[in-house]
Amino acid sequence: MNTLPWRLLDSGAGTGVEQMAVDAGLMDRARETGEAVLRLYAWSRPTLSFGRHEASRGRFSPATLAAAGVDAVRRPTGGRVLLHDHEVTYSVTAPVTGDEPLRASYRAINRILLDAMQAMGLAAAEADPSPTPRPGGAACFAEPNAGELVVGGRKLIGSAQVRERGALLQHGSILIRDDQGRIGALADAPLTPAVPAATLAALLGPQPWYAMVRDALFDAVRARHETVGELESSDTEGWAAAHRARFASPDWTWRR
């Protein structure tokens, strides 16, 4: 990934369906252009997202979520359930060769994240190796997985990566406030509760967090890579269009 041309994109706030469709579309773009994209975005409504292979039926229901004013979407990546609300979300899409280890790309992206957090005054680090929990029994922020970013042992950034047909997508949540405790109240079945997470607001106080995180991450990419340009949200329209129907479909969201 170090030799790839990079593009930077600020998508702003959008629905869960739109944000997942853009992420999936940018994987298509990576295959065709050979470029990596770092994208920042937010969520226009509180949204519960399920990991690609995670069980949702019997644990959550559309009726319960609708009554609480919470949308639902299923991610193209794996991992466990998340509540997206007060956070900044990042995604990286890039072409990838079959012989590049997943851990190598994960670490390369983590270096950008760590550079940005350090520039913001946060002493973040990668979590120590630990057994990876199986999807289905807990929320994403119930504990940090190996390689996720923590501050003082508490998860600050939860990430997941998927690879398909020569491209990767890694995206993750950078918490401004800790809303993950709400997931248990939204569930129709017992759920292992999230432990208190590290958050930007608790660590550094009130700030214009979205702009600060965006600028720090974009600067970190510029510092590490020679060829860096920018994209506009309009540049993603054609790439996302092919994926909207899938992420809007209840058959996808509630398939498991």
Mean pLDDT of 14-29: 97
Q: With b meaning 16 or more CB within 10 Å and e meaning fewer, what string describes 23-33? A: bbbbbbbbbee
Confidence of residue 51 (pLDDT cuts 50, 70, 90): very high
Amino acid found at 160: A
Confidence of residue 192 (pLDDT cuts 50, 70, 90): confident
Question: Is 84 part of the annotated catalytic residue set?
Answer: no
Residue 135 predicted with pLDDT over 50: no
191 vs 149, residue with greater confidence: 149
Radius of gyration of the chain (CA): 17
Q: Are 163 and 102 in contact (CB under 8 A)?
A: yes
CA 178/CA 165 separation, integer angstroms: 35
Which residue spans within 122-256 are E strands per DSSP?
A: 125-126, 149-151, 154-164, 167-175, 228-230
The confidence score (pLDDT) of residue 142 equals 47
Q: pLDDT by residue (tens digit) across 216-234? A: 999 999 999 989 999 999 9
Q: pLDDT by residue (tens digit) across 63-108? A: 999 999 999 999 999 989 999 999 999 999 999 987 777 888 889 9
Confidence of residue 145 (pLDDT cuts 50, 70, 90): low
Q: What is the dihedral of CA 32, 33, 36, 39, to 10 degrees?
A: -80
Give the active site residue among 140, 183, 194, 221: 140
- Give the domains, in start order, of the chain with CATH numbers: 6-125+141-253 (3.30.930.10)
Residue 189 predicted with pLDDT over 60: yes
CA 110/CA 157 separation, integer angstroms: 10
